[in-house]
């Protein structure tokens, strides 16, 4: 039978960057630092964990609050990746833009999964602290609006809640007026020789996007060449992934609202589930989906 080594030595921490046992030095983590722990200095974990300030003593409120904060971080990360994809597309680097878009898809998967942290919540659970939220609502998330605007879902009225927060309002107004990711994708198609009318490329960016038959035709043509070395075909597929994951998040949002409050008016004054249902009708990258009917 194989010999089983006896374990008699007791590891004793020491300050030299590891652990010393009876046989000598064993590699281990450093335990002493002159100032702040480097992990906390980089991640700011102590700051993050100080930001949860529930309004009630109900233990379930912490889940609601923290999941909301986690979603805000996911919104910001997705925005970061989409802006990087925009930068690369404006340089006509379609291959390079695939990487941040693929990361965006994965980040959105994490965002969708965040709803699982609230699946326990019943109407009675939510009602124990809902009134304390006042008029606070996820509808008022500035970072979510940034994400929507980047995806081409624009509505000037939705920046009005921030008019007394000048910095946020100015940033959102700039994002509203700037080209969306889909605008930059369409510009790439024009530069690659597809017949995109000038009025599509020069249209104002602040209003609701109007789908173009010419853009749809371009995607029909792109999908006829589905080789793995066709960067525009790969771009279309990863954009479809991003749109699908974002749509899943919106659907999960709707079902979470229906599960916890039915068809009640939302805390921010919206019609709640009815508002979310209408919002889901606004399609991300519309010609990418309508082209599939023609292909």
Instruction: Confirm whether residue 130 is marked as ligand binding.
Output: yes
What whole-number distance in Å separates Cα of residue 113 and Cα of residue 110?
Answer: 5
Q: Exposure of 20 by Cβ count < 10 A (0-12 exposed, 13-18 middle, 19+ buried)?
A: middle
Q: 181 Cβ partners below 8 Å, 6+ apart?
A: 82, 85, 86, 89, 150, 151, 152
| Tokens standing for residue 76 | 């910001």
What whole-number distance in Å separates Cα of residue 54 and Cα of residue 66?
Answer: 9
| Tokens standing for residue 123 | 């109407």
The total of other beta-carbon atoms located within 10 Å of residue 62's CB is 13
Instruction: Confirm whether residue 224 is marked as ligand binding.
Output: no
Q: 177 Cβ partners below 8 Å, 6+ apart?
A: 205, 206
Residue list, annotated binding site: 130, 253
Residue list, annotated binding site for heme: 253
Residue list, annotated binding site for substrate: 130
């Amino acid at each position: 039978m194989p010999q089983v080594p006896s374990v008699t030595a007791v590891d004793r921490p020491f300050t030299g960057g590891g652990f010393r046992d009876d046989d000598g030095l064993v590699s281990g983590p450093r335990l002493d630092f002159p100032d702040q722990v480097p992990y906390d200095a980089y991640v700011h974990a102590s700051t993050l964990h100080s930001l949860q300030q529930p309004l009630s003593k109900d233990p379930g409120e912490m889940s609601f609050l923290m999941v909301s904060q986690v979603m805000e971080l996911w919104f910001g990360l997705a925005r970061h990746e989409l802006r990087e994809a925009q930068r690369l597309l404006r340089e006509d680097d379609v291959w390079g833009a695939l990487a941040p878009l693929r990361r965006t898809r994965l980040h959105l998967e994490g965002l969708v999964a965040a709803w699982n942290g609230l699946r326990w919540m019943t109407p009675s659970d939510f009602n124990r602290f809902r009134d304390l939220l006042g008029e606070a609502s996820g509808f008022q998330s500035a970072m979510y609006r940034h994400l929507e605007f980047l995806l081409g879902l624009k509505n000037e009225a939705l920046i009005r809640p921030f008019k007394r927060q000048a910095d946020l309002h100015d940033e959102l107004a700039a994002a509203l007026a700037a080209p969306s990711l889909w605008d930059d994708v369409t510009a790439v198609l024009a530069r690659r020789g597809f017949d995109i009318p000038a009025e599509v490329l020069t249209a104002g960016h602040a209003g609701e996007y109007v789908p173009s038959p010419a853009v749809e035709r371009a995607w029909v043509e792109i999908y006829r060449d589905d080789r793995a070395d066709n960067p525009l075909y790969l771009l279309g597929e990863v954009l479809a992934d991003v749109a699908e994951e974002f749509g899943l998040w919106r659907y999960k949002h709707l079902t979470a609202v229906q599960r916890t409050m039915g068809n009640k008016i939302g805390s921010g004054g919206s019609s709640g589930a009815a508002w979310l249902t209408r919002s889901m009708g606004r399609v991300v990258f519309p010609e990418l989906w309508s082209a599939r009917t023609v292909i």
